[in-house]
Structure 1
Amino acid sequence: MNIRYLSLLLSFGVLANAPAAHAQKPRKSPPPANAPVQTARTELPLTAANSEVHVQALPADSTVVLLVGRERPLSNKVAFTFQQYDHALQRRNEHPLEIPDEFSFMRMCAEGTTVYALFSSGSTPGRLYVAAYNGRLGQVRTQQFETRLSREIVELKALDGRLFATVLLNDQLHVTALILDVATGQMQYISSIYEPLPTQLTFVADAATRRAEYVLSQTNGRKSRLLLKQLTDRGQLVSAEFVQAESDRSLITAQLTPPQDTAARLLMGTYSLRDANYAQGLFATNLRSTTEVGTKPPLRFYDFLRLKHFFDYLKPSRQARLRLRTERRIARSVPPLRWHYRLLLHELLPQPDGGYVLVAEVYHPHYRYNNYGSYIGPFNSLGNQYGYPGTINSRIFDGYQTTHALVCGFDRSGNLVWDNTFVVENLRRSELEEAVRLQTLPDGRLVLAYLDEHKLRYKLINRAESSPNDHEIPIQTVLSAADTDAERPIETSQADLLPWYGSRFVATGYQRVRVEHGPNREVFFLNSVVF
């Protein structure tokens, strides 16, 4: 049979029954050793086009609370409900929530078993609406607040039944803090927190001590320092102190250990060399370890090059060239290389040995380009905490791209003990918020993880030991091993991963699921992932 005749037979389907390589199902690669298991899944018949779902995991009672908004029939208005799911992701409670039509969801946080949802008015600037859902009592309380001056809520935390909100003001030039008392309906601006942009601000709150502590960055355009302020749960200033470097280093931003730790008061963050936009490395100090009266505790600085794993995201050959170049500069007594990294710091995580773990996501603004005219946003589209998307010279801001997550272990004195890095892929988000999640395992190891569409990517970290960065498992639509081939996700959106309780995460998002012997379905899913 000549080649031309054979091709004719193939084109008319004469050999349609012959085995073809492309008709075979691809083999599934086995999961990594000690891979997490998915013990429960719940699906809600919702689509991203006609609903919104906001998820809050509650480690305090091993439940998950959802704020579900659905479009009302024949209307563009949204009806909200609180739904609570138990440790097996079975629905326990559902409570309708009446939200006036002028309000849109902004942020959500929790304290113990109470979840707070904050909404902002689209018609009256500064008008806020708060709903508090107590899962233990099954009760919902709501309050409306007329803040007048607030424009955007940047961060939200609960302390002893009150909400502490970091607020961008209407003038778009200042940031302050606001307390909302949901029980009484009273509100107040914290007069001691009023800073000009581009101030960066972090804070920790603790109900046991009824304290909130703020870390604010201040700059004169050449150098920057940190201002620490401790307040009561009612916003009264208890103490204030400056922390600054005496050398040419500037302190960019930092995190404090929680107020309930009375034995150590650690401050850990990033520093720069002259340019406060970019981090050169990490610094740490124990604010309680003064050797003499009036003596400031020493600051310890760790250039990124001193860390064992920071540059793991680079190819080995490029790492070697970088270190060789640095060694040559040191030999010639030339100033060190200036790094151009931006870091988003997570809150410090206490460890069983009394130390703390700091996680920092290394990111950069991502842009796409077009041929249209340019527009410059209100301020700082380059990744400031309060920046707005915009375009510069036909560049359109397209979110924040994470390259890797740095994780460091410190002892109780603030000394760096070890470091490691999780190299990530396809991790971009529209707002500057945490994307890589951390959980402590029973054996003391740490797991860093995130969702990449319908894949869970993760890394197991045992202090400074090297380990694979490419572990991944699919988010299962069917938990029975016998039925996993019967369906698969074909599209996943708004995927997120939240630390839950024990060694568990809860994975969430919208999915379109292809079913082999039935109609496809669109759902919002919750999956329990156990390491």
Structure 2
Amino acid sequence: MLVACIPAMAQFEPSIRLELPISQNSEEFFDVTTLGDQGVLVNVRHGDYYSSAPTKFSFKRYDTDLKLLWSTDYKIDAFYEPVRSARTEHYLYWLLKETANEKIAILRVNLTDGTMETYRGDLVTPMDIFHFKVLDNIAYLGGYYRSRPVVVSFSFFDLTSKVLPGLYTNHIQLNNIEVDEQRRLVHVMTDATHQRNCEFTVRTYSYEGKLIRTVNLDGNKHSLISGKLLPLNDEESLLVGNYSNDCTPYSQGVYITRIRNAASPVGESTVITPTEDTRYIDFSELQNFFNYMKPKRQQKMIERLARRKDQGKDTKFRYRLLVHDLVPTDEGLMLIAEVYYPQYRGSSYPYLGAGRSFDRYQEGYRYTHAFLCGFDKKGKLLWDNSLPIPDLSSYDLNQMVQVSRQGNTTVLAYPHDGEIHAEVIQGGKVVREQEKYSLKKLRENEKVVYSENEQLEAWYDGHFLACGFQKISTDRSLAPPREVFYINKVTRIPDDPDTRPSSRSASPDDTNATRKTSGSKQK
């Protein structure tokens, strides 16, 4: 374990750094799971360079000072491949599946002491699995069989599985699966297109798999793309997400609606139409959504929106959103979403015949900005804010922006090129403009040659966890550079109470507010 210091730069104090050497003889995949003030769990999947299937799990749990608490290994049986993982308060689960049949194994790791149990069984039907959740002693697996959605519950008690009713239908796609641990409910969200009309449905099941409520949100005017549920109490929940106007994945804005938790009779549907019960908020209605643009471009956008509004015309936005889990607040909730677009690269090559052929393939995702919305418990929009994230790209679509609440302020941070970019907001105001904090400096005679797969996680009490791969060289040494998987604990020091809001702050009534991205141009 090595200790490295981040340059003071007012907000962050020295961090603790942990380095895990990378094997040169096998392929390794690292997963880091933060456990709040209980520490962090590192899961390494070891594989053979000549086989794509991992052969072993290594689990290591560390405390908040990154000191090792326990370590254990698990050998993966032949023909089984890891599919998905899930975490509850006390356990980490890994779903393993045989590719040639319906046999599954679920590994359960006790986060307290590292003890492990394995539950083996068979699925009712062959399926491609894309969702994996665990509630108490039942696992819920969501996926598709012959292009139709299927959700299977698997019991750890008797190792049996059954299909949840009401889902195996044509033209329906699984959107999300959420579990309510307090009320022991499972919510399955689907979307469907019927004669150019898009419908978003929330089916609620009991712990045993009985359908107890179906809520249909009609899409005559607005098509819901995603949905996140936040229970307010035993009687009511808030459903929040993004929507489009044309049954596409391109967002026009965000919505929020209240849903009663009272169970309706099996088979009965509660239809919610776009009335005052559901609020649709166009991106143009948000005060700070376009703050990621340069001032001149932002001003032109605002003027264009005003002209079209005076002419009675609507502006069609086409944004792809990665919506985070909802964050409960004292007022109600906070919605965070990142705006991104797929990156493609094309190449041309000769083919048999005249001319050339052009091939286009996706090489990752590029992010433009993140935005936040604060709502009260009745669904009223209280404030909004945004964070520019220019030139940030990722091969996989991951949540890059992390959020840490400290008192009445919120810290927004993301990793890029070996640095942490951080900004502090208070509702719709920017308290501290975006600044960069380097994680590259190690010992005096060491330097980072390159960093990749950088990730940042909000941890606990204002602490963040940065991790990724680095190649490090040593000055005046003939030794080759070392490659490591690093974990850095980063602590933010709260701002001085006398800190004044920055000049980029936008008051709720200032619709023409602009702001610039501070710092040098990012590579």
SS in 1 for 2:430: coil
Q: Is the 8 A contact 2:238 2:257 kept in 1?
A: yes
Change over 3 Å in CA distance of 1:393–1:74 after alignment to 2? closer
Question: Is it true that 1:272 corresponds to 2:231 in the alignment?
Answer: no
Q: Is the 8 A contact 1:44 1:523 kept in 2?
A: yes
Residue 161 (structure 1) shift = 3.3
1:148-203 Cα shifts (integer Å, max 9, x gaps): 7455432333211333233233x2x2333232334543323322333556735123
Residue 134 (structure 1) shift = 0.2
1:404 matched residue in structure 2: 369
Q: Distance in 2 between matches of 1:295 and 1:119?
A: 39
1:295-322 Cα shifts (integer Å, max 9, x gaps): 9762112110110111112222122212
Q: Is the 8 A contact 2:6 2:13 kept in 1?
A: no
Q: Is the 8 A contact 1:477 1:487 kept in 2?
A: yes
Name the TM-score, length of structure 2 as normaliser: 0.81
SS in 1 for 2:227: strand
SS in 2 for 1:104: strand
- Residue 123 of structure 2 aligns with an amino acid whose one-letter code is T
SS in 1 for 2:315: coil
Question: Is it true that 1:166 corresponds to 2:149 in the alignment?
Answer: no
Q: Distance in 2 between matches of 1:97 and 1:361?
A: 36
Q: 2:324 aligns with which of 346, 349, 365?
A: 346
Q: Is the 8 A contact 2:419 2:440 kept in 1?
A: no
Residue 109 (structure 1) shift = 2.0
Q: 1:455 aligns with which of 410, 419, 438?
A: 419
Structure (1 or 2) with the greater strand fraction:
2
1:118-167 Cα shifts (integer Å, max 9, x gaps): 2343x415443321100224310112343374554323332113332332
1:67-111 Cα shifts (integer Å, max 9, x gaps): 223357999863322211111111111112021132333322211
Question: Is it true that 1:325 corresponds to 2:304 in the alignment?
Answer: yes
- Residue 529 of structure 1 aligns with an amino acid whose one-letter code is V
Q: 1:254 aligns with which of 227, 242, 246?
A: 227
Change over 3 Å in CA distance of 1:120–1:322 after alignment to 2? same
2:91 matched residue in structure 1: 114
Say how many residue pairs are matched: 470
Q: Which moved more, 1:215-224 or 1:293-302?
A: 293-302
1:284 matched residue in structure 2: 256
2:482 matched residue in structure 1: 521
Residue 219 (structure 1) shift = 2.0
2:281 matched residue in structure 1: 302
Q: 2:160 aligns with which of 186, 193, 217?
A: 186
1:426-505 equivalences under 5 Å are 426-441=391-406, 443-466=407-430, 470-475=434-439, 478=442, 483=443, 485-505=444-464
Q: Distance in 2 between matches of 1:221 and 1:448?
A: 42
Q: 2:78 aligns with which of 74, 83, 101?
A: 101
Change over 3 Å in CA distance of 1:289–1:238 after alignment to 2? closer
Change over 3 Å in CA distance of 1:127–1:450 after alignment to 2? farther
Q: Distance in 2 between matches of 1:29 and 1:68?
A: 27
Q: Distance in 1 between matches of 2:207 and 2:389?
A: 38
1:511 matched residue in structure 2: 470
SS in 2 for 1:327: helix
RMSD: 3.1
- Residue 316 of structure 2 aligns with an amino acid whose one-letter code is R
Q: Distance in 1 between matches of 2:346 and 2:272?
A: 53
- Residue 147 of structure 1 aligns with an amino acid whose one-letter code is L
Q: Distance in 1 between matches of 2:488 and 2:297?
A: 39
1:23-73 Cα shifts (integer Å, max 9, x gaps): xxxxx9965432x335322111115863222222222x5221222233579
Q: Is the 8 A contact 2:124 2:163 kept in 1?
A: no
Q: Distance in 2 between matches of 1:486 and 1:261?
A: 57
Change over 3 Å in CA distance of 1:162–1:105 after alignment to 2? same
- Residue 523 of structure 1 aligns with an amino acid whose one-letter code is V
Q: Which moved more, 1:69-78 or 1:307-316?
A: 69-78
Residue 405 (structure 1) shift = 1.2
Q: Which moved more, 1:75-84 or 1:514-523?
A: 75-84
Where does the alignment leave 5 or more consecutive residues of structure 1 unmatched? Answer: 1-27, 375-391
Residue 244 (structure 1) shift = 2.7
1:388 matched residue in structure 2: none
SS in 1 for 2:66: coil
Q: Is the 8 A contact 1:403 1:425 kept in 2?
A: yes
Q: Distance in 1 between matches of 2:332 and 2:347?
A: 49
Q: Distance in 1 between matches of 2:23 and 2:365?
A: 25
Change over 3 Å in CA distance of 1:197–1:369 after alignment to 2? farther
Change over 3 Å in CA distance of 1:277–1:68 after alignment to 2? closer
Name the TM-score, length of structure 1 as normaliser: 0.80
Question: Is it true that 1:205 corresponds to 2:179 in the alignment?
Answer: yes
Q: Distance in 2 between matches of 1:103 and 1:143?
A: 13
Residue 499 (structure 1) shift = 2.8
Q: Distance in 2 between matches of 1:344 and 1:135?
A: 29
Residue 350 (structure 1) shift = 0.5
1:377 matched residue in structure 2: none
Q: Distance in 2 between matches of 1:73 and 1:433?
A: 26
Residue 207 (structure 1) shift = 1.9
Q: Distance in 2 between matches of 1:150 and 1:508?
A: 37
Change over 3 Å in CA distance of 1:191–1:434 after alignment to 2? farther
Change over 3 Å in CA distance of 1:397–1:412 after alignment to 2? same
1:84 matched residue in structure 2: 61
Change over 3 Å in CA distance of 1:487–1:434 after alignment to 2? same
Q: 1:414 aligns with which of 346, 355, 379?
A: 379
Q: 1:359 aligns with which of 312, 328, 336?
A: 336
Larger radius of gyration: 1
Q: Distance in 2 between matches of 1:217 and 1:237?
A: 18
Q: Distance in 1 between matches of 2:333 and 2:109?
A: 32
SS in 2 for 1:324: helix
